[in-house]
């Protein structure tokens, strides 16, 4: 069965399942869910624990041996499979299926790995696993939900923060929940008052204490740009540059997105509705708002202009022009976000001469 992370505590209290599969790319939330499962089963006598790190060279016979050997006097055991890849090979699928076909109540299988794609979730093999265990899909906390999440965490740790302090903290730790928890611990130490009394937190204290630990990825940058948030997209671009991301990685993701928008815009020009277009192109649920936003304001002609600009940026990255690729990436993102560009496009126009 599929359960949400917030349903995990209730599920653990009311069910004794043989397998839990944690799927996601957010380290803190994955860790907290795994800790919750371990603690619950440990309280029920599962005192032993064995961990397998599964990569391409992993021998699945070791897992089969571990689940096949249990003496009459052994303690109950948690067996963890930490996957480096969301897709299991055939020996892995067979080993897990074989175990589920002959369950041992003295074992709990805890699988954790990267986010599973839609195709894997629809396979007959995975449906059989879901029928006997629980799948918990853990999604990153988006910007809209980050402030409420931080407020709840602060309150849990005895910190009363005003709205401006929470907003500022969210800006500084966006995309990096581990850093958020570290900063909350720091705030407890440095902003604390009398022992036992609640800690009052304002924006000034956050500015003084919290480092800018925000972390972004290229796909967040693309979606933010599609939403038309120019200020945030420019901040994210600067963050990626500071992290040493190669500009060609950003350009590649951007051009793929632009090309994927072309057939959608053609259908829009033919009179199809945006919702129908998004559904027919199987846009991920968490991207629907971004794609809807850009389809509402962009034209096919602009897409071709941006692809032409991307070609020139590619040349600048490869040293075939004197243009600054980061400046040009900033410019193309502004155009895609719908911001009026007032800067002279001198570097690009020079390339066309």
pLDDT tens figures, 47-87: 889 999 999 889 999 998 888 765 555 578 999 999 988 88
The model's pLDDT over 191-237, given as tens digits with 9 standing for 90+, comes to 655 566 678 888 888 888 787 777 778 888 999 999 999 998 999 89
Q: For 2-138, which CATH class?
A: alpha beta
**CB-CB contact of 5 with 33 (8 Å):** yes
The model's pLDDT over 301-319, given as tens digits with 9 standing for 90+, comes to 999 999 999 999 999 998 8
In the chain, which residues fall in CATH 3.40.50.300? 2-138
Q: Is the pLDDT of residue 14 over 90?
A: no
Give the pairing type, strands 107-113 and 77-83: parallel
Percent above pLDDT 70 for the chain: 92
In the chain, which residues fall in CATH 1.10.8.60? 143-209
pTM: 0.64
Q: Count of alpha carbons within 13 Å of 216, Cβ hemisphere only?
A: 27
Percent above pLDDT 90 for the chain: 41
Q: Is the pLDDT of residue 10 over 70?
A: yes
Q: What is the mean pLDDT of the chain?
A: 86
DSSP 7: G
Q: Is the pLDDT of residue 348 over 70?
A: no
pLDDT value of position 248? 92
Q: Is the pLDDT of residue 99 over 60?
A: yes
Give the containing element (helix H, strand E) for 63: helix 60-68
Domain 143-209 indexed as CATH 1.10.8.60: yes
State the Cα–Cα distance between residues 289 and 282, nearest whole angstrom: 13
Q: For 218-351, which CATH class?
A: mainly alpha
State the Cα–Cα distance between residues 311 and 221, nearest whole angstrom: 19
| Long-range contact pairs involving 190-198 (C-beta distance under 8 Å, separation at least 24) | 191/159, 198/158, 198/159, 198/160
């Amino acid at each position: 069965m599929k359960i949400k992370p917030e349903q995990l505590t209730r599920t653990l209290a009311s069910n004794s399942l043989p397998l839990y599969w944690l799927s996601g790319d957010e380290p803190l939330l994955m860790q907290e869910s795994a800790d919750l499962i371990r603690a619950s089963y440990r309280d029920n006598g599962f005192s032993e624990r064995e961990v397998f790190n599964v990569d391409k060279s992993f021998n699945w016979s070791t897992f089969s041996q571990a689940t096949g050997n249990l003496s009459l006097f052994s303690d109950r055991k948690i067996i963890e499979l930490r996957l480096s890849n969301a897709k299991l090979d055939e020996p892995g699928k067979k080993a897990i299926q074989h175990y589920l076909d002959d369950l041992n109540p003295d074992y709990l299988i805890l699988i954790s790995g990267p986010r599973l794609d839609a195709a894997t979730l629809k396979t007959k093999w995975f449906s059989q696993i879901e029928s006997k265990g629980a799948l918990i899909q853990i999604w990153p906390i988006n910007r809209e939900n980050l402030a409420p999440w931080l407020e709840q965490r602060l309150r849990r740790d005895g910190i009363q923060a005003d709205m401006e302090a929470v907003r500022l903290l969210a800006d500084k730790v966006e995309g990096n929940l581990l850093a958020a928890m570290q900063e909350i611990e720091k705030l407890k130490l440095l902003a604390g008052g009398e022992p036992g009394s609640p800690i009052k937190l304002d924006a000034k204290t956050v500015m003084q204490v919290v480092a800018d630990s925000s972390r972004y990825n290229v796909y967040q940058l693309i979606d933010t740009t599609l939403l038309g948030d120019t200020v945030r997209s420019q901040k994210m671009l600067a963050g990626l540059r500071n992290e040493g991301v190669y500009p060609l990685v950003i350009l590649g993701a951007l051009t793929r997105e632009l090309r994927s928008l072309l057939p959608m815009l053609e259908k829009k020009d033919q009179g199809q509705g945006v919702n129908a277009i998004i559904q027919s192109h199987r846009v991920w649920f968490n991207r629907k708002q971004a794609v809807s936003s850009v389809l509402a304001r962009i034209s096919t002609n602009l897409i071709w202009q941006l692809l032409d600009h991307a070609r020139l940026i590619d040349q600048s990255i490869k040293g075939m022009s004197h243009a600054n690729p980061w400046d040009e990436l900033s410019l193309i993102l502004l155009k895609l976000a719908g911001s009026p560009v007032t800067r002279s496009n001198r570097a690009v126009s020079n390339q066309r001469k």
